[in-house]
């Protein structure tokens, strides 16, 4: 809420900064779909879009880190007394059996998640390596050296970016 206040209050940097930050996070489509045809009151819709962005699954294996760690979904505690489907649909008789079954299957879910992560990593590596071309230099080849590293030639903003050629 503080972030929204600082973004929309005239005493702070302005609503444009909150919009720019939301667009940078990739929330532009979520805000547009939440607003629909009317483009007003986007500040009221922003917390809902931020919550959805922060709680959605962003990995290739389809599980949340909480469920891989503890073996169950994250739910609101019953002490808060806020009724949800997960707390209302609990079968108290079979609850212990279900929890022990979840813990037995937890290792299998972790292994499946590790396999999916490795598959996604190899896919990204294949995509990256297809576009990267290695260069091997031989003796007597002419090369240029980046001026940013050595600062051999001063020139400021309009100065040369490379120095050389070196043999």
Q: Is the per-residue pLDDT at 46 higher than 70? A: yes
Residue 166 pairs with which residues in a beta bridge? 143
Residue with tokens 């009724």: 83
What is the pLDDT, as a whole number, of residue 91?
A: 74
Given a cut of 60, whether residue 29 has pLDDT beyond it is: yes
Q: Which of 7-11, 36-40, 104-108 has the lowest mean pLDDT?
A: 7-11
Q: Is the pTM of this model over 0.85?
A: no
Are 46 and 4 contacting, i.e. CB atoms less than 8 angstroms apart? yes
pLDDT at 1: 47
What are phi and psi for residue 165, nearest 5 degrees? -80, 145
């Amino acid at each position: 809420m503080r972030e929204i206040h600082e973004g929309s209050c005239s005493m702070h940097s302005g609503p444009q900064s909150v919009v720019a930050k939301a667009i940078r996070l990739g929330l532009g489509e979520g805000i547009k779909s939440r607003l629909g045809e009317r483009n007003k009151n986007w500040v009221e819709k922003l917390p809902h879009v931020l919550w959805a962005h922060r709680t959605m699954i962003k990995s290739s294996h389809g599980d949340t880190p909480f469920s891989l760690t503890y073996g169950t979904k994250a739910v609101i505690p019953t002490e808060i007394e806020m009724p949800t489907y997960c707390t209302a649909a609990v079968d108290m008789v079979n609850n212990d059996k279900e929890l022990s079954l979840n813990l037995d299957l937890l290792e299998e879910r972790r292994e499946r998640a590790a396999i999916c992560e490795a598959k996604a990593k190899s896919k990204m590596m294949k995509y990256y390596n297809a576009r990267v071309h290695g260069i091997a230099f031989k003796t007597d080849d002419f090369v240029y050296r980046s001026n940013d590293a050595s600062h051999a030639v001063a020139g400021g903003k309009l100065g040369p970016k490379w120095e050389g050629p070196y043999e």
